[in-house]
Amino acid sequence: MTVPVYPVDGPDHAAPYPSRPSRRSRAGVVVSIFATAAVALTLGAVGGYAVGSEKGVAAASASASATRSTLFSSAVSSCGSPAGAQFGDGGRTLTLRTRGAERHSSGMSVQDLRCILAKLGASDAVISRMSATRALDGMQDGQWEGIRASWTYHPDDGLNITLTMN
C-alpha cells in the first residue's frame, strides 16, 4: 500500500494557521476603514440636511397656508362680509352661495360674489365658466394661483362655490 503525497505548495493546500497579512494589505484595510467612515459621515450629514430642510419646507408651507387663509377672510370682509360666505377647515376653505329664484333661498348677491372673486384674483376663464354653468352640467371645477374652485348651479338654489387652498 502506498501513501499519497500531496504537494505542500499546491492550490488545494490549506495552511493550518492563517498567514500574516503583508504591510500592503494592512494599509488597504486602513484606507477602506477611513473611506467607509467618510461615506457614513457624508450620508449622515446629507440625511440631517434633508430632515432639517423638510422641517423648513413644512414651516414655510404652514406660513403660506396661513397667509392664504387670511386672503379668504380679507376678501370676504373687504366686500362687506355678505351672507352666504362660510369658512371651513381652519380658514383654508371658503364656501360661497348666491341667492336662487326660490323665496326661501338665501345667499349673497351676484355683485358680492364678483367682488370676492375679484379680490381673490380669480381668472376670467374660471369666472366665465361659472357664469355659463347650467343645472344639467353638474359639478364643475377650475383653479387659479393656488386656489381650487368647484361649483354647481341650479336656478332655484343659485350658484354654490367651494374654494380651497392647494
Domain span at 78: 71-165
Q: How far is CA 141 from CA 64, 81, 150, in A?
A: 23, 24, 4
Say if 46 falls within a structural domain. no
pLDDT (0 to 100) of residue 157? 92
Name the pTM for this structure. Answer: 0.60
Name, in order, each residue with C-beta under 8 angstroms of 7's C-beta and a sequence gap of 6 or more: 13
Counts for the chain of helices (H) and strands (E), in that order: 3, 5
Strand 147-154, strand 158-165: pairing:
antiparallel
Say if 4 falls within a structural domain. no
| pLDDT more than 90, % of the chain | 54
Say if 22 falls within a structural domain. no
Q: What is the arithmetic mean of pLDDT over 134-141?
A: 97
pLDDT at 118 over 90: yes
Say if 43 falls within a structural domain. no
Higher pLDDT: 71 or 16? It is 71
Q: Rounded CA gap, 50 and 74, in Å?
A: 36
Say if 33 falls within a structural domain. no
Higher pLDDT: 24 or 101? It is 101
Q: 103 near 111, Cβ under 8 Å?
A: no
**Structural domain count of the chain:** 1
Question: In terms of Cα–Cα distance, which of 165, 156, 53 is closest to 98?
Answer: 156
Say if 15 falls within a structural domain. no
pLDDT (0 to 100) of residue 104? 72
C-alpha cell at 110: 351676484
One DSSP character per residue, 77-117 reads: HHTT--TTEEEEGGGTEEEEEB--SSTT---B-HHHHHHHH
Name, in order, each residue with C-beta under 8 angstroms of 143's C-beta and a sequence gap of 6 or more: 126, 149, 166
pLDDT at 66 over 50: yes
Say if 127 falls within a structural domain. yes
pLDDT at 40 over 80: no
16 pLDDT band, cuts 50/70/90, is low
